[in-house]
């Protein structure tokens, strides 16, 4: 009898082991099941004050898992935020919105429309029908403030050109180093750099010295792997002479308050192949190299990326000499830490 | 070169044979010879002028085994096969193969060992060669070719796998507490290294059984199918360890004999250092457990045996040695593989399963292989089929005067987790088999009249609130046969078998990492019939000649292919010596 008892105990032990619940493989309901809206689209916060730390998310529930897409479109800016996923339930887990945009421009204080579309398959009379991008809900929300961007902002060009910046403009034709308030990717204004210089590559430059921000060096981390340089650039359509934008980063390696040519590190990056339309360029500081006439060379200082010793950032607008008029639009120059700028 | 070696070996065997005649029991020859001739005719659409409709083929072979006993504790056996296919003259088409070679012996009168080829099994959940679909309960007249293939592939009646390696067993006896501890250990190589990308894959394990008394015993089984590190440049190592415990207890009370036995255990299957294309290490661990238990009651006065079995085999239970299928999944047969004027591929049928040796596996492989749901959708991997739970009932009765015997089986199983949905498939199987020995019912008749009748019905069903969830696949099999002894040693054989499968079911498609990535909707409206008759003359117990005629028809309206059929006339001579 005891033996039987032991056997039963053994059986109970094995039987008590738990297995994963649910089912194996992809869901057949998702593949072939009927699609119904169980709970229609709702917005957790339809008047969002991002500056006050608020966020918003969306809620909906379907009869089966579908590919869904929420598209938020700014009524004034035209900014578009796309949140997408594949699930049966839409909730805070998969739709939390911090006010960022998917593609430039960034959102402004404005009313936004919200469209929810879904894509799925259904089985009708043994035939699989694919439904793509079906618009099932429309809603709206208002932004009372825009999102707060963390980082060291060098320029958003919203309040004019800082007199502490050093701007050099070549003698040429149609020179336009000025601010423009029209279809800006952020705020209302951007910096227009353009002109036609037959005798030199350089059309103009703008220096952002650290002194303009209150110190001989920028207030950045000393870890080059953590610091990102971000800038929004746009090449207008119809240019025959494509621009080259050269960014230079001068370090005060010996901390004497000035950058000394030939003794200290200067890192640089050339941005070529710009295309029409606003584009965010984000560069990890430690990825920057020293350049000599566009070719990589050894740095002339301590050879260490020291963002905390950065003394000056320069933007050089270049173009093929004799190539005709060239132009680049620039906005929102900002250093961020730990991750690239999320517009 | 191979032929030369074989001829020399044969000469050696024959010369040693003459020596052995003077030293009896040191050496003797044994073996089997077989001659098979078949004339097949394909029956397709009458307008088919493209396909060859007839084929004749056959072979003659001799398996010559040299049995050597150099001393009373050592036995060596080697078998050479000489085969000549029908139509091969003057050595053309003749093959010589070393069919088996092993040595076994006894060390110090206590430890037995075997080196070389061996037939091995442990338990249905660790190391077991399950019978192929349609094998069980098939009439002898239709199983003749299956039996030959079984012999060729070493599929012996006790469900062993032919391995090459080393095995040993020994036992320890005790005076008190327990009677005996039995040890069985083995190792074999499943896959050889190519010294580049494929590692040596070995299969090893063993069994420890504690026999407490005639009434109780318990044991442990352990097996592991694993790649051997360092045998190639491949750093991925597959491993599939399985550990199980077994128990067996019995008791007698009056006319009743009770027995409880079972097995429980767990498995893991994973690949060390496995990286996906994005260089992310994916161990692909699959693990689970199972419980299996049977309770058997024997009632001696009625010669009645009733068994109830419970099983719960997790969806992640993997045991390559027990889940390996004998039967390969194929969409195309070897014989008459295309038909009709459009030369479409001829779908596989039970004819191929009974007759086509290319459909059979000879070695253990990893993974849950594809199977034929129209023939077996319930236990395609035997008792170790994953994701099954439920009860099986079995009732067997043999008449005391051997006038008749019958067996009834009923199974009610279900999935443990659903496939693609939460709804579970239910599996029901009903099987009945009746053997009538008419001569034992007739007091003045002494020639054998054996009638066999059988019926099986398998059903897989899933219900749900949406149409696509609902599936139902039914398979019915009916067979009837008669063996009539016409005169002394001359028998007339006749049989009929029909299989009908209809319905649909979703089958899992697994990727290389054993993860279900999709489902295939299997649909069938299958009808197969085979009728046969023939004569068998038994020269003695080891020597018989058969002349058989069979007619087979296949149709499956779901596939939209032409119906087809075969006629076969065959002559088979088998002699064991």
Nearest chain A Cα distance for residue B418, angstroms: 5
pTM summary value: 0.76
Tell me which residues of chain A, numbers 10 to 69, contact chain B at a CB-CB cutoff of 8 Å: 10-11, 14-15, 17, 19-29, 31-34
Residues B119, B26 share a domain: no
Residues B155, B39 share a domain: no
Cβ-based contacts of B421 with chain A (< 8 Å): 23, 27-29
pLDDT at B12 over 50: no
Residues B133, B90 share a domain: no
| Within a domain: B49 | no
Nearest chain B Cα distance for residue A129, angstroms: 14
A19–B249 C-beta distance less than 8 A: no
- The pLDDT tens digits for A236-283 are 998 889 999 999 999 999 989 889 888 999 999 999 989 999 999 999
Residues B97, B115 share a domain: no
Cβ-based contacts of B419 with chain A (< 8 Å): 23-25, 28
Q: Judging by beta carbons within 10 Å of its beta carbon (0-12, 13-18, 19+), is residue B265 exposed, middle or buried? A: buried
Residues B116, B77 share a domain: no
Structure confidence at residue B537 (pLDDT): 96
A34–B417 C-beta distance less than 8 A: no
Structure confidence at residue B330 (pLDDT): 83
How much is the average pLDDT of B197-202? Answer: 91
Residues B208, B264 share a domain: yes
Could you give the ipTM of this predicted complex?
0.77
B422–A28 C-beta distance less than 8 A: no
Cβ-based contacts of A17 with chain B (< 8 Å): 289
Which of B249, B316, B419 comes nearest A23 by C-beta? B419
Structure confidence at residue A2 (pLDDT): 53
If you ran DSSP here, which 8-state letter would residue B547 be given? E
Cα–Cα distance, A292 to A299 (Å, whole number): 10
A123–B467 C-beta distance less than 8 A: yes
How much is the average pLDDT of B212-221? Answer: 94
**Selected residue with higher pLDDT from B19 and B244:** B244
Residues B157, B82 share a domain: no
The CA–CA distances, whole Å, from B21 to A100, B15, B16, B25 equal: 97, 10, 9, 9
Residues B226, B180 share a domain: yes
- The pLDDT tens digits for B436-477 are 999 999 888 889 999 999 999 999 999 998 888 999 999 999
Nearest chain A Cα distance for residue B247, angstroms: 8
Residues B158, B30 share a domain: no
Q: Judging by beta carbons within 10 Å of its beta carbon (0-12, 13-18, 19+), is residue B299 exposed, middle or buried? A: middle
Tell me which residues of chain B, numbers 161 to 220, contact chain A at a CB-CB cutoff of 8 Å: 216
Total domains in the fold of chain B:
2
Read off the pLDDT band of B2 (50, 70, 90): very low
A20–B508 C-beta distance less than 8 A: no
**Selected residue with higher pLDDT from B503 and B9:** B503
pLDDT at B156 over 60: yes
**Cα angle value B169/B172/B178 (rounded, 5°):** 125
Element (H, E) at B322: helix B320-323
Structure confidence at residue B195 (pLDDT): 86
- The pLDDT tens digits for B504-563 are 999 999 887 788 888 888 999 999 999 999 999 999 989 999 999 999 999 999 988 889
Read off the pLDDT band of B15 (50, 70, 90): very low
Residues B290, B159 share a domain: yes
Nearest chain B Cα distance for residue A229, angstroms: 29
A25–B518 C-beta distance less than 8 A: yes
- Read off φ and ψ for residue B541, nearest 5 degrees: -65, -25
Cβ contact A248:A231 at 8 Å: no
| Within a domain: B55 | no
pLDDT at B88 over 80: no
Which of B293, B315, B469 comes nearest A11 by C-beta? B293
Nearest chain B Cα distance for residue A57, angstroms: 30
**Cα angle value A38/A44/A50 (rounded, 5°):** 150
Nearest residue to B530 via CA among B546, B512, B553: B553
| Within a domain: B57 | no
Residues B195, B82 share a domain: no
Structure confidence at residue A7 (pLDDT): 53
| Within a domain: B58 | no
| Within a domain: B51 | no
Residues of chain A with pLDDT under 70: 1-18, 20, 125-126
* Average pLDDT over chain B, rounded to an integer: 90
Cβ contact A112:A78 at 8 Å: no
Nearest residue to A110 via CA among A52, A180, A176, A47: A47
For an interface test with A, the pick among B292, B519, B521 (most A C-beta atoms closer than 10 Å) comes out as B519
User: B14 is in which domain, residue-wise?
Assistant: 1-44+65-102
Structure confidence at residue A9 (pLDDT): 53
- The pLDDT tens digits for B125-152 are 999 999 999 888 788 888 888 889 999 9
Structure confidence at residue B20 (pLDDT): 45
Domain termination residue (choose one: B54, B84, B102): B102
R_g (Cα) of chain A, nearest Å: 28
Q: What is the CATH number of the domain that holds B533?
A: 2.40.170
Domains and CATH numbers, chain A: 26-145 (2.60.40), 152-337 (2.60.120.260)
| Within a domain: B392 | yes
Residue A81's contacts (CB-CB under 8 Å, 6 or more residues apart) are: A71, A72, A97, A100, A101, A102, A107
- Cis amide leading into A105 (omega within 30): yes
Nearest residue to A66 via CA among A29, A94, A30: A30
Tell me which residues of chain A, numbers 109 to 168, contact chain B at a CB-CB cutoff of 8 Å: 123
Read off the pLDDT band of B571 (50, 70, 90): very high
Nearest CA in chain B to A4: B249
Structure confidence at residue B18 (pLDDT): 46
CA atoms within 13 A on the CB side of B430: 6
A24–B419 C-beta distance less than 8 A: yes
Residues B418, B495 share a domain: yes
Structure confidence at residue A142 (pLDDT): 93
Q: Does B312 touch chain A (CB under 8 A)?
A: yes
Cα–Cα distance, B120 to B574 (Å, whole number): 26
The CA–CA distances, whole Å, from B107 to B101, B104, B172, B210, B239 equal: 20, 10, 14, 22, 32
**Cα angle value A251/A256/A261 (rounded, 5°):** 50
């Amino acid at each position: 009898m005891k033996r039987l008892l032991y056997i039963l105990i053994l059986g109970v032990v094995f039987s008590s082991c738990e297995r994963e619940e649910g089912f194996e493989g992809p869901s057949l309901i998702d593949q072939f099941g009927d699609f119904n809206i169980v709970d229609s689209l709702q917005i957790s916060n339809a008047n969002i004050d991002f500056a006050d730390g608020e966020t918003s998310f969306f809620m909906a529930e379907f009869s089966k898992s579908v590919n869904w897409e929420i598209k938020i479109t700014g009524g004034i800016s035209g900014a578009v935020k796309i949140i997408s996923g594949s699930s049966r339930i839409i909730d805070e887990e998969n739709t939390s919105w911090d006010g960022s945009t998917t593609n430039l421009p960034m959102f402004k204080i404005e009313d936004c429309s919200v469209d929810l579309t879904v894509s799925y398959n259904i089985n009708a009379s043994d035939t699989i029908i694919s439904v793509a991008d079906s618009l099932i809900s429309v809603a709206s929300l208002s932004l009372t403030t825009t999102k707060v961007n963390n980082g060291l902002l060098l320029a958003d060009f919203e309040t004019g050109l800082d007199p502490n910046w050093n701007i050099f403009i070549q003698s040429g034709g149609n020179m336009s180093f000025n601010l423009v308030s029209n279809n800006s990717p952020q705020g209302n204004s951007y910096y227009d750099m353009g002109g036609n210089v037959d005798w030199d590559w350089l059309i103009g430059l703008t220096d952002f010295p650290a002194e303009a921000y209150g110190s001989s060096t920028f207030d950045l981390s000393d870890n080059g792997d953590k610091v990102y340089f971000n800038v929004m650039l746009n090449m207008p359509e119809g240019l025959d002479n494509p621009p080259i934008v050269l960014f230079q980063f001068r370090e005060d390696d010996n901390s004497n308050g000035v950058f000394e040519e030939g003794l200290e590190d200067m890192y640089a990056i050339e941005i070529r192949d710009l295309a029409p339309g606003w584009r965010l360029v984000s560069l990890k500081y430690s990825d920057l190299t020293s350049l000599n006439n566009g070719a990589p060379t050894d740095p002339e200082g301590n050879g260490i990326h020291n963002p905390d010793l950065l003394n000056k950032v320069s933007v050089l607008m270049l173009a093929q000499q004799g190539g005709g008029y060239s132009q680049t639009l620039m906005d929102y120059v900002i250093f961020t830490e730990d991750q690239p700028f999320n517009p | 070169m191979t032929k030369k070696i074989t001829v020399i070996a044969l000469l050696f065997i024959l010369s040693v044979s003459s020596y052995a005649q003077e030293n009896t029991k040191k050496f003797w020859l044994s073996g089997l010879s077989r001659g098979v001739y078949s004339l097949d005719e394909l029956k397709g659409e009458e307008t088919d002028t493209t396909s060859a409709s007839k084929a004749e083929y056959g072979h003659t072979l001799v398996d010559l085994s040299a049995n050597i006993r150099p001393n009373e504790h050592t036995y060596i056996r080697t078998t050479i096969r000489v085969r000549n296919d029908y139509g091969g003259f003057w050595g053309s088409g003749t093959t010589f193969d070393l069919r088996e070679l092993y040595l076994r012996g006894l060390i110090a009168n206590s430890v037995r060992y075997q080196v070389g080829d061996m037939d091995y099994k442990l338990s249905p959940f660790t190391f077991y060669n399950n019978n192929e679909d349609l094998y069980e309960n098939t009439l002898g007249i239709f199983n003749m070719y299956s039996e030959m293939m079984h012999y060729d592939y070493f599929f012996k009646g006790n469900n062993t796998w032919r391995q090459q390696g080393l095995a040993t067993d020994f036992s320890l006896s005790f005076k008190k507490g327990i009677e005996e501890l039995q040890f069985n250990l083995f190792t074999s190589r499943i896959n050889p290294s190519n010294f580049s990308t494929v590692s040596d894959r070995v299969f090893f394990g063993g069994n420890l059984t504690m026999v407490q008394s005639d009434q109780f015993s318990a044991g442990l089984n352990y097996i592991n199918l694993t790649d051997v590190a360092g045998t190639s440049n491949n750093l991925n190592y597959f491993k599939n360890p399985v550990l199980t415990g077994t128990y067996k207890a019995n008791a007698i009370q009056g006319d009743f004999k009770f027995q409880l036995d079972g097995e429980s255990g767990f498995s893991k299957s994973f690949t060390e250092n496995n990286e996906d294309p994005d260089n992310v290490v994916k161990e692909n661990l699959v693990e689970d457990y199972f419980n299996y238990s049977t309770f058997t009651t024997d009632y001696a006065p009625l010669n009645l045996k009733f068994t109830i079995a419970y099983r719960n085999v997790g969806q992640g239970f993997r045991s390559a040695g027990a889940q390996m299928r004998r039967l390969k999944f194929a969409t195309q047969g070897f014989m008459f593989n295309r038909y009709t004027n459009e030369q479409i591929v001829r779908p596989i049928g039970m004819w191929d399963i009974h007759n086509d040796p290319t459909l059979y596996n000879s070695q253990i492989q990893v993974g849950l292989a594809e199977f034929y749901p129209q023939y077996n959708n319930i236990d395609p991997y035997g008792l170790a089929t994953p994701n099954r739970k439920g009860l099986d009932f079995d009732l067997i009765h043999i008449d005391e005067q051997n006038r008749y015997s019958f067996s009834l089986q009923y199974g009610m199983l279900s999935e443990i987790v659903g496939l693609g949905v939460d709804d579970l498939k239910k599996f029901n199987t009903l099987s009945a088999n009746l053997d009538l020995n008419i001569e034992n019912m007739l007091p003045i008749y002494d020639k054998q009249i054996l009638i066999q009748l059988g019926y099986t019905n398998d059903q897989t069903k899933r219900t749900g609130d949406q149409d696509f969830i609902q599936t139902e696949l039914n398979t019915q099999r009916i067979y009837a046969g008669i063996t009539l002894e016409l005169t002394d040693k001359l028998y007339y054989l006749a049989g009929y078998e029909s299989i009908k499968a209809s319905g649909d079911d979703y089958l899992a498609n697994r990727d290389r990492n054993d993860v279900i990535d999709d489902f295939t909707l299997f649909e069938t409206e299958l009808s197969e019939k085979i009728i046969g008759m023939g004569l068998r003359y038994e020269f003695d117990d080891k020597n018989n000649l058969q002349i058989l005629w069979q007619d087979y028809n296949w149709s499956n309206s779901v596939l939209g292919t032409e119906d087809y059929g075969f006629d076969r006339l065959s002559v088979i001579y088998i002699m064991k010596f």
